[in-house]
Structure 1
C-alpha cells in the first residue's frame, strides 16, 4: 500500500487547495476533452474508442477528440496518460494487454499500473477467433489437437506478436491440450493473413472483429472462438467450451481510465456518463455490429477483473517461458 506523509503545513493549507478542484468540477467539462489511444488509427482499439467517445461526448456535452499515440506495445500512449494533468480533460484507454500481460513480460514499465491510474469503465470486449484457410483439412479443435499430436512440431500459428493476448491464447491451448506447435509472430493481420491463406502457417489467432470480413467471405474458416457464448454474427463457429476446453474463455477488452488525482466529482461525472453510454441501445447495437460485446464492468469491478486475469496470464507466461526483448 502506498502511504502519503503530509507535513503540518500541508495539513493547514489542505482546505484551501482542496476547494479549487471541487469548484472546477462544478462545470466539468467546460471545453473539449482528449482521449489518448495507445494504438494506431484504424485498428480495433481505435474503433472502439471513437465509437465510445462519440456517445460519451453527447452525455458530457463536449466533443472528445481521440489522439492515437502508438508505440512500445502500448507503453507510449499509456505513459502519456499517466503524466497528463489530472483535471479530467485527458482520458486514456486501458486494455487487457497493458494491464494484465505487460507486468509479467517487462522487467520495468514507465508507469505504475496500480497507483498512476483510475479505471472508469470497460467500453467493450471481444473474443479471439482461431481460424484456418478454407481448404484446410482441420475443421474443429479436435482435428487440430489430433494432428498436432500425430505430427509433433509441424503445426504453427500466426499472431500479431510475442506476448500478445493472441500468442498467450495459442500457448494456453497447447498447454491445456498437451501438444506443441510453433508460434510465428507478425506485425499485424495484413502480414499474417496472406501467410495463412498461402498455407505457410496453419492457424491464425486474432481478435474477432479483425476477422469478420474473412469469415463472412469464406476465405477463413473459424474453428473456435474464445467467448463464453457463440458470436451472433458467426453462429456456426463453436466456442472452446463446446469444443471440450471450458477454461479457454478469454476476452480482449478496452476501457476508459484517467490519470490518478482527478477530482472525485469529475470521476463521478465520467462514471455516470459512461454508465449511460453502456446502457444506450444504439451504442450497444454499434458494438455488436463490430463483432464485439458492450462493456459490463465499472470502477472496482474492473480492478477485480484485471487482478483475476493477470494471475492466469502470469502462469501462461511462466509455464511457456515467454520473453520479450526488454
Structure 2
C-alpha cells in the first residue's frame, strides 16, 4: 500500500505549517503555510528572490526549516527522505541529461538508480518521445529535452510530482504540449506542486495558488477565489450619449469608466467603455439589455474575469488587505 493510500482523505499530500527558512541573518521564507491536496495541482508563484526555491528544497527534505513543520504523505521529508522520495518525482530547472546517450539509454540509466519500477516504452509514449528513442540526447530540441526531464520525473508513476519551472525556454507549441501532459497526469490522480514564471500557465493548470512576496504569503487560495479578488471586466466601444451612459451606471453593480475612443474606424462621438465588476454575469446581462433598449451597437465587446497577471500586479494591495484582516 502506498503512503498516500494510508492517509485519511482530509490529510493533504503536502502540508506546510508556519515554515520559516533562513540563511544566517537573512530570512528567505517567513511563516508560510500551504497544502497540496491529493489529486490537485498547486502553483507556488512569486518574483525572483521571493523564496520559492528555498521552500521547494525544504519540502523535498534538502534543508531543515528554521521553524514550523512540513509533512509529505504525512511524514517529515527530511527524517524520512528515502521513503518520501520514493513516492515523489521531481523535475528541476537544470537537467542532468547525458548528451552522448540515446533517449532510451538515458531512461535505462535512470531505471538503474530509481527505486520505482517502470517501462522505458511506457514513459516515452507518455511524454510523446517514443519516436525519438534511438536518437542522441544532444540532437533533441529544447522542448524534447524538457519532456525527457519530465519522463524521468514521471518514472514509476509517482503520487506527487514537483515541477520547478517546467516550461522555461520552450516555444508556445511545446509549452502547450507540456500542459497537456501535466493535465493528463493529474487526471489519472497524480498530485502536482508547480512553480512557474508564466502566469498564464499557472492559471491554466492550477486548482489552487500561493503567491510569495519577499518570503511571505501575499495571496493564497483556490484559483477561482484568487481571481475573484480582482473585479472582472466588460469592455466595448459605443456611440452612446452621456445620458445613456449615465443610465448604464445606474443599472450595473460595477464601476463604469469612459474615455474617447481611439478606434480610427469609429465616428468621433464614440466612447471606449469599461465596466469593472464583482458580478460579471449579472452586469453582462444588464449591459446587453441596456444596449438593446437603446438600439446601440457594442463594438469590440469583451467580457472576462480577472487574470492571474492582474492579481500579480495588485499583489501589494492584496497583501496589505490580508495583513489587515
TM-score for both structures, normalised by structure 2: 0.22
Of structures 1 and 2, the one scoring higher in RCO (CA 8 A, sep 6+) is 1
Q: Counting strand residues as a fraction of each chain, which structure ranks higher?
A: 2
TM-score normalised by the chain length of structure 1 = 0.22
* Bigger Cα Rg: 2
